[in-house]
Structure formats: structure tokens, C-alpha cells
Structure 1
């Protein structure tokens, strides 16, 4: 790899994990991220990192001890209720259970960012397009007019990847389910009833067409996801805008009419406005013909509904790709070896997750704690 110019597009957990492992093995890499800086936006809610993928990648990156200083094993607790507020399922993890502890997405990103050499990430670099022959070199064209030449482009830029068109014509489709995210702050003091309902982990309820999923974050915060079976444009179709918090709240109260008061408080008592999170997925299976100068990882490669594996697969992809680059004679050989492993793994998970977005609204929690351990319960962005 001496002299190879490796460019990662996207500074999320997958892209940063790949960069960290490459640097640990003496390979130069640059990460390009469209955010103007590391604090440009809130990174979202909490993630569970599983022993056999997310944690494995952090161990390979030399960051597992730092991870455990931030992780919340108690976040594995899960509660399933019905719309009347009656508990149907309650999983309490063992005191030594470290299978998939929670960590805030922002904390994980900061952990990875601070592990990289200064200057690794170029901020404010929004990719517009990629040009150049398939066997390289490639030119990265950024929105500000900058052009960068590179030998390998790694697309770690999420659902609507700007790198994906260089290898695949596939585009994400809306699953028919959309979430509105609501935030609750200082919950132990200001939202004590919600804090008790959710506990240290998560609580969910659904009736077949709509549902709620509440999840404890660090720093005394809770995020709630209000789930509905609706078209992707349901907000504008109802004459509303995302800034119209009162109007959205009234619409939601009508949609969730008859639900228990303690669950309706997730609609009425949030701090601030809502965040629209329509659920998209890529076609299943999704693969592409080998291109030696471009590859994808994470959601850019295999976007799925939120079944608790997205960030784990992204970080495992990143680990596999970085190790392949460290072992191979050329970037093309490394990409081929990585994709040979990644394609069947992602297809297996994507097939299992296909249609799960609607299943989130079924109201059926996992019947046994062991199923919860195996990733059958959702973990949301």
C-alpha cells in the first residue's frame, strides 16, 4: 500500500473505524466529511455495539478499553407494553452481560475522531461526483469546486451515498414506515414518569399501524421515536411542516387516540420540535461488479431498517476492509477480498431484515430474553 492514496467519504462510525485501523497499521488515509466541523450537528441517539462485530472492530482499533469507560450495559434492558400501558415483556440483563451495551452515537464518534492523527478529517468537504477510469486514478469533485486525485474511494457516506453511483445504480426506497423523533431532557427531574417507564434501557408499544419506542441516552436524556405506517410525504400531505410542532402534535394525538396517558406523554411533553426520520432500505440483495478503485461499507452498501445491526455491520465492514488493505499487495486485491466477505454477510442480514420496518408496528416484543440478545429488538438512530 506504500504510496496509495486512500480516501474515505463520510466521517461516521464506519468511516472513522476504517481510518483508525488503517493508521494503526501505518497506512495513510484521508476522511472527507460534509459537516463543517465535528460539532456541526447533533449525532443522534444511542447505539448498541455487539460483541461479535462492533466491539470486535473497536478491539482491532485498540479502543475497546476506552469504549468500556463510556458504554452502558444497563441500557440492554427492554420493556414491551401494549397501547393500554400494560407490560407484556421485560428483559433485564444479567449484571455481567456485555453482549450489546449502549453508547451514545456522539460519544462513539468522538472516541474515534480523537484517536486519529490531526488533519485526517477534512471538514466541509461535500462530495459532488467521482470521475476517472475504473482502474484509476479517480478524481473526487467537491461542491466547493475542489478536486482531489485518489487511488481508492471508500463510500462510508450513508443511505444516500454520493459514492454508490460509481459502482451501483441502486437507490433506497421508502419502506412505508416513518418515525418522528422527540427529545426529552433532564428526565429524572422534569419527566420523572417517563424516566420510570423507560428505565435504564428502552420501552416500546405498538398496535399494528403505529408505535412508540423510547430509549435512554446518557446525560439524563431520552429519545422517543413515534412510528407510523404512512407515505414518505405524510407531513406535507397533511398540510403540515416540520416546524409546526403544535400542528404535528395535534395530528399525532389524533392518530394515537385511545392510547394510555403515560404513552401519550411521549407526544405531548417533548422538549423542542420533532425530527423526521423516514425509514429507507436498499434492494435485497444489493451487490455490484468489482471495481478496483471504489467500494462501499455500512449503509452505503446495505441500508436496512433499524434492527440493531446497522452500525455494527458498518464497523465490521470497516474492520474487514482495513485489514484487507493492510494485507494485500494492491488496493484492487484488497477490495476484492473484502467484498467477497461483505456481500454474503450483508445479504444474509438484509434478507432477515426485509419487511421488518412494518414488523416494528406489530406490538409483538421478543418472547424470550435470548431472542433479545440475538439482536431481534430494534436500536434506533
Structure 2
């Protein structure tokens, strides 16, 4: 009598996943993967979570960023930490007159604000200990396309991974392994100014900005001010200038008085109250030239590398960047959890992510110019008060 023995199926090996970048996108991806029992390691070049100020405030939208937080099991905690009052917005004329004022209604939660640092802490605290490897600045990625991939860090260490996720922002080192594209200067630059203890030290500016943001533009230049928690306000002087405009003016980034004099001349026709947004700041200015990737940005499918957020689709800062990064991270993590192989997961993820990012890239192409526009926002005619 013949008997047939069915061989024991070989279990699919758990992929080694390396996420490069501990920003909102990378951390969201790691969190959702862990909720599905999948281990991932996040590598970040900063020396630790408190190595630098994480920047200003973010509005997380109901139709993307909040979806990711729900999948991460963090939405309720986000609402506890967020500032719904930050949805207030004001549009002013350069003369200082109020053109439009939106005050959020009670319970409005479409895009509440949260400080970037607070969002990062929320995500970091949700991860298993040791998930993030600090002080790991990626130098390059090599190895066969089919894997495993080898990651080379600037401290001389290396590690292998079956999937490398580039969540490392505008100047992504992971992107270089699958795409020759590099960000291009848009022709528009931000100059950031900080205001601290505004209720006591800058009450007039506090009153001007309100609980959310205030903006003004004349077609060639603009000012955008935004409140964050802890009684802080950040202001951005937005100009159409060469990328090296500070040097071209014979100035240095540390020459606060010289830059201030230049700005006062550029904004000489604006109201004295608005000009205080560029003259009363606490500390030096920070130069932030705005870059964007070519439109559309795509790459040939690779079975062991993919990108999310700014690494995949860097666009002008018009309120969508972090939201798309977190939605990308969510969809990629779920694809990995629900597909048999990494290759299948990347196919499924990019099938949705790339068309969506291409549509948004086209919509925001030359969007930096819109930051200088005198037109009111679309919702200004839809019942704002």
C-alpha cells in the first residue's frame, strides 16, 4: 500500500524592513506595521528625538492624515493633543485691512493643528522600544534588485534589508537607488522668523495672528504667520528671489540686522503693523528656499525599494505634504500586512500612491507662485466669518 506524505509547507520568511527617516511618514509606517505584528527598524541621522527643534505646526486632514492615525490607533490621542482653534485663518491686504476671517465652529475637526514635535512624540511613544536607531545617517543603498539590500551608513556600519522604505524627505538617499530625480528650486524662498512668549512680549502680533494663521500678499511677496502651542508664532516672509539671494545682497545668514534692513525695503509699502512681523522677531532669521521634484515624479518598479512622502513627491508647502506622507505610510504598511510577498505589496501600494501623487503634483505645479497670490482662498466665498 502506497502512502503519500504531504510535505510541511515552508513558512514565508518575515521580511527585514528598514525605514529610513523618523519623520511623521516613517514613524506612521512603523507603527501600523507593528500593530499587524510586523517588525520594522527605523534609521534616522539625528542623534536623538530631542536633537533639534522639529519646526512649526501641522494641520492633519480628515481625509488623509487622520485616516492614517486611525489605522495607527492614535486618532483619539491626537484629538486630545491637537488645537482645533488653530483652524482659524485670516487674510489681510498689505495695507493691513482684514479681507477674510474664518473662525472654526464648535466641534469642527476637519484639519486641527498640532505641533510637529508633539506629533512626532505621539508616534515615537507608540512604538516598541528600540524601533528607532538614532545617529544612523544613510550614505547609500546597494545590493541586487531582488535583495537583500545593503544599507551603508556614514558611521561605517552596514545592515541588510529585504525592503527599504525611503521616508527620508526632500534630499532622500534612498531615492537615488531607484530614481535620478533631484529637487529643483521653485524660484520662491521662505525666510522664517520666530516670536516667543507672544502674549507678553508681542501682544500686538498675537492679536493680529489670532489662534490660527494670518496671511497677506501683494503678488510679488507675502507674509504668512502661524501660531503654535507654548505661546509661539512663526512668520514666513515669502519672496520670489534667487536661491542665493542672501549672498547676492552681500549678506550672510547670521547678519540679522542686514537682512532686516533688506526686508524693510522690500516691504516698504506695507502697513507698519504687518512690517512688525519681519522686524520684531526673537533671534535670527532662517532661510528656507522651496524645492520641488519634477512633475510627475515616477520610477521603474523595484521589488525591494519604495518611497513615501517628500522622498516620492516633494511639492511646495501648501498644506498637503505631511498628510500625503502619512497616508502613503498607512497604505504601504497595510499592503505589506495583507500581501504574501514584499514585491506584491509594493505593486499594490504604488498602483494607488503614484497616480494620487501625480494628480496632486500637477495640481500644485508652480504652486509656490500661488503663495504670492492676492486671490482669496476658495472657501472665502463659502460662508466664512
List gaps (5 residues or longer) in structure 1: 374-381
Q: Which of 43, 54, 63 is the matching residue for 2:54?
A: 43
Check conservation: 1:158, 1:299, Cα contact below 8 A. Answer: yes
Alignment of 1:91-240 (within 5 A): 91-240=102-251
SS at match of 1:363: coil
Larger deviation, residues 239-248 vs 338-347: 239-248
* Closer/same/farther in 2, CA of residues 2 and 51 from structure 1, 3 Å limit: farther
Note if 1:328 corresponds to 2:339.
yes
Q: How far apart in 2 are the matches of 1:184 and 1:92? A: 23
Number of equivalences: 373
Check conservation: 2:100, 2:380, Cα contact below 8 A. Answer: no
SS at match of 2:187: strand
SS at match of 1:98: coil
Alignment of 1:73-88 (within 5 A): 73-88=84-99
* Closer/same/farther in 2, CA of residues 273 and 124 from structure 1, 3 Å limit: same
Deviation at 1:103, TM superposition (A): 0.4
Q: How far apart in 2 are the matches of 1:341 and 1:11? A: 23
* Closer/same/farther in 2, CA of residues 150 and 244 from structure 1, 3 Å limit: same
What residue in structure 2 maps to residue 263 of structure 1? 274
SS at match of 2:151: strand
Alignment of 1:299-314 (within 5 A): 299-314=310-325
Q: What is the alpha-carbon root mean square deviation over aligned residues? A: 1.2
Alignment of 1:25-44 (within 5 A): 25-44=36-55
User: Considering only CA atoms, is the larger Rg found in Structure 1 or Structure 2?
Assistant: 2
Deviation at 1:3, TM superposition (A): 2.4
Q: For residues 42-80 of structure 1, what are the alpha-carbon distances to aligned partners after superposition, in whole Å with 9 as ceiling and x for unaligned? A: 100000000011001000000011101111111111101
List gaps (5 residues or longer) in structure 2: 1-11
What residue in structure 2 maps to residue 318 of structure 1? 329
Deviation at 1:359, TM superposition (A): 1.2
Q: How far apart in 2 are the matches of 1:338 and 1:372? A: 38
Check conservation: 1:366, 1:372, Cα contact below 8 A. Answer: no
Larger deviation, residues 60-69 vs 90-99: 90-99
SS at match of 2:297: coil
Q: How far apart in 2 are the matches of 1:151 and 1:66? A: 33
Q: Which of 353, 360, 364 is the matching residue for 1:353?
A: 364
Check conservation: 1:174, 1:232, Cα contact below 8 A. Answer: yes
Q: How far apart in 2 are the matches of 1:28 and 1:149? A: 14
Check conservation: 1:89, 1:367, Cα contact below 8 A. Answer: no
SS at match of 1:58: helix
Deviation at 1:369, TM superposition (A): 4.1
What residue in structure 2 maps to residue 21 of structure 1? 32
What residue in structure 2 maps to residue 378 of structure 1? none
Q: How far apart in 2 are the matches of 1:333 and 1:83? A: 53
Check conservation: 2:191, 2:237, Cα contact below 8 A. Answer: yes
SS at match of 1:130: strand
Which TM-score applies when normalising by structure 2? 0.95
Deviation at 1:367, TM superposition (A): 4.7
Note if 1:276 corresponds to 2:287.
yes
Q: How far apart in 1 are the matches of 2:244 and 2:224? A: 21
